[in-house]
């Protein structure tokens, strides 16, 4: 895991050589021409949502009792982050018809938003679930207000919550661990509702013997 507040900015220019095959009136030798490959622009970034720290805090406090919120903080340069993404993607498909909201918060450098992050979102088909956050704007107060165990020192970090229950994980998770954490919160609230409904309906447990 790497400190997400320290970014290494890498700028790459991709040049492709393309032979000029156009027919010309004059008898000239064909010449090679250099063509710059199309690069992603700000329009590509515009398709991704950029949130301020304040907006992220508000989002984390969203609370619909019947909805399970899974929020993952990651960066495309983070190996452990990329390791667990396929597990999240698989779980998203499994829970597609259930009240579960997955959000992936990118802490990549802003210079990588239109390239690495955009490509990542398309690769896993989660563009609608990816949020951009400028990590340089975060301070310790942000972490104290929103999390119990995460101080921003390492990623990935995942917050899973439903109702008044939550689970925080610093570090990469295996597929089994992720499934267990999600299912635990899903079944917990379901069990609570069943008990409450029985009490409201006046359903009691087995009668004690009067003997």
pLDDT at 43: 56
pLDDT at 126: 97
Helix boundaries (H) for 47-103 = 53-60, 79-94
Domain of 178, in residue numbers: 65-198
d(CA 174, CA 160): 15
User: Is residue 79 one of the residues assigned to a domain?
Assistant: yes
Q: At what angle do helices 175-200 and 79-94 cross, to 10 degrees?
A: 40
Q: Are 193 and 199 in contact (CB under 8 A)?
A: no
pLDDT at 47: 80
User: Is residue 60 one of the residues assigned to a domain?
Assistant: no
Computed over every residue of the chain, the mean pLDDT equals 78
Q: Any bridge partners for residue 71, and if so which?
A: 103, 159
User: Is residue 15 one of the residues assigned to a domain?
Assistant: no
Q: What angle do CA 33, 37, 42 make, to 5 degrees?
A: 145
Q: Are 35 and 17 in contact (CB under 8 A)?
A: yes
The reply to whether the predicted model has a pTM over 0.85 is: no
User: Is residue 110 one of the residues assigned to a domain?
Assistant: yes
Q: Are 15 and 36 in contact (CB under 8 A)?
A: yes
84: domain CATH number is 3.40.30.10
User: Is residue 5 one of the residues assigned to a domain?
Assistant: no
d(CA 40, CA 106): 18
User: Is residue 69 one of the residues assigned to a domain?
Assistant: yes
Measured in degrees and rounded to the nearest 5, phi and psi for residue 179 equal: -60, -40
Spans of the chain, pLDDT less than 70 = 1-46, 188-211
CA distances in angstroms from 109 to 7, 106, 185, 188, listed in the order given: 6, 9, 33, 38
d(CA 89, CA 73): 14
User: Is residue 16 one of the residues assigned to a domain?
Assistant: no
User: Is residue 121 one of the residues assigned to a domain?
Assistant: yes
pLDDT at 50: 96
Q: Are 74 and 154 in contact (CB under 8 A)?
A: no
Q: Domain tally for the chain? A: 1
Helix (H, G, I), strand (E, B) or coil at 158: strand
């Amino acid at each position: 895991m790497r400190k997400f507040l320290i970014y290494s900015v890498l700028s790459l220019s991709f040049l492709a050589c393309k032979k000029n095959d156009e027919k010309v009136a004059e008898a000239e030798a064909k010449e090679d021409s250099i063509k710059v490959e199309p690069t992603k622009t700000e329009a590509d970034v515009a398709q991704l949502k950029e949130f301020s720290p304040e907006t992220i805090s508000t989002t984390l406090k969203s609370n619909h009792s019947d909805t399970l919120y899974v929020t993952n903080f990651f960066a495309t340069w983070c190996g452990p982050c990329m390791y667990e993404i396929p597990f999240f993607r698989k779980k998203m498909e499994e829970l597609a018809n259930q009240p579960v909201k997955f959000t992936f918060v990118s802490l990549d450098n802003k210079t990588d938003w239109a390239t690495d992050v955009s490509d990542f979102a398309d690769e896993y088909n989660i563009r609608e679930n990816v949020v951009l956050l400028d990590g340089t704007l975060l301070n310790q107060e942000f972490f104290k207000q929103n999390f119990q165990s995460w101080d921003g020192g390492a990623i990935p970090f995942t917050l899973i919550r439903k109702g008044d229950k939550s689970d925080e994980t610093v570090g990469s998770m295996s597929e089994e661990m992720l499934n267990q954490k999600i299912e635990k919160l899903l079944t917990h609230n379901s069990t609570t509702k069943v008990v409450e409904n029985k009490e409201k309906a006046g359903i009691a447990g087995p009668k004690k013997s009067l003997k």
